[in-house]
Structure 1
């Protein structure tokens, strides 16, 4: 008797989770179909061998953005660069 109940619960659970999985797959496919295709390959950063293209960033106390010290003044009066 207990085996029949356990088997029935197992079958219902398999069907339930199967439908949830199928629904999730259909939603993902619909989202993929709506998204526009990529314009091309994404750009890849390749630093120069001399190391000039890689710079340490510092936080500007005036505008709170991270920028290179070589970048110059951010436009605000209190900018130390």
Structure 2
């Protein structure tokens, strides 16, 4: 009697965990087949258009400006 109960519990556990495992495999397959954000047509990755530019700090007023287009802050001692 107890042996039949354990066998029934074992069969149910095997079916349950097998079902969860197959669901997990299906989810992994779905993720692999879906296009990644960088592969979607008409969209470029965020970092594709990023051009970093050096910044310089005005030693008079403390503001930061792009080094190529730095302009005077209007104060007498401004180096730009």
TM-score by length of 1: 0.46
TM-score by length of 2: 0.46
